[in-house]
Structure 1
Amino acid sequence: MIFFLFSKISFKIPEPIALIECYCYQNDFYAKYDLLLEHRDRKIEDVNKIGARIKKEVLSECKKITESTKSLSIFKYNLEQFLDLEEKDRDEQIKELNESVIQELLKINGIGLSKATKILHTLYPKIIPMIDNALQKKYRQLINDVWTENRSDKIFIGFYKNLQIESNRKNLNYIFDKLLENNIHHLSKIRIFDILWWSYLKAERLKEEQRINWTSIES
């Protein structure tokens, strides 16, 4: 299957189901983080189960912000519903997310965009992606070399616009359904794409550094 990232570059994963299955049984994040939804709603403290390493006192400050903004419209959607909105409506909701939540989280010492989005993905796994440092670096390289976290809405807009590409949506829907058939539950479509692009960026880096020719991921 071919996927796109920021609508600019493509990468090929011949067996995406197998790749995600390997991730699930080799990585503790699936058992300790993704499967939390099997028994209870997630709490903000669960973010550290995916390697965020946020101190308790810092999380308490973050919680004040997430609690006061949990009524934002964007949090009520799943991915398909959000992508079906008119572009203007979607972009306005992203800007509201940036101004009301993300920028407030970024004011807290020790919280950057990567940790802020891990917090929000923990609470809203069906709609908010994790934008880690590697993805931010790729965005600067591909889209805007002067982009900063102050304009986090820009990278979010680019992220969702990329998922509107017909082949991306079709492939994600197919993978999501197949994983359910295999009884692999509690991976949202956002999370599935997170695993795919993360695997691609890691493979690309190792290929450049170590000249490894991967057969499972092609760029």
Structure 2
Amino acid sequence: MKKIHPDADSALSGLLFDGMTIAAGGFGLCGIPELLIAAIHRAGTQALTIASNNAGVDGFGLGILLESRQVKRMISSYVGENAEFMRQYLSGELELEFTPQGTLAERMRAGGAGIPGFYTRTGVGTVIAEGKEHKDFDGRTHILERSIVADLSIVKAWRADPSGNLVFRKTARNFNPSAATCGKVCVAEVEEIVPLGSLDPDHIHLPGIYVHRLIQGQHEKRIEQRTTRKKETV
């Protein structure tokens, strides 16, 4: 199967439809599939449910889909860096399912592993637990969390080979492997595609069996919070 596509628009061709659920990798702006997000924006797909740790920032990453009102519902852990995200949520324009960060990662991983749900202590006694099944294990209360199975996964990696084996760079791995596995179809964008056989099998973070389509592109990789200090003088 040929997995490599010339650009993000062609890689998403035939996969997008209104009302779909998308799992997106990334943490803040680190490791986000920025090219695929931009292609979804151009496609104009509406009423999206997006499972992602956050929604980028205003005007970049998933933030552009919020600004164009293409997102109906977010399944997220954090909204603090995106003013439009907060505004839409507080005004009732956007549905939001708050999910603790580790729980979100595990819901994605479980979906990719074929596990329909799992019990966790995280969120017990908070609004997170409202409406969920409670069960005691070893004298402690746990809540049932359902796994996430998305119609589409979009992820960003550092390197890939033509089979779709992926290598992520440092902390840019974050949610990407879990997000990739829980989609019925996974599209990955990478900085470099290397010849088949050139990746050390021990260094592959995600096997190509999970990746259906692949693009290589140039990435802006914008910095979310730039922190500097004055140069010290001797």
Q: TM-score normalized by structure 2? A: 0.23
The structure with the largest alpha-carbon Rg is 2
Answer 1 or 2: higher relative contact order, Cα 8 Å, separation at least 6: 1
Q: TM-score normalized by structure 1? A: 0.24
Question: 1 or 2, which has the higher helix percentage?
Answer: 1
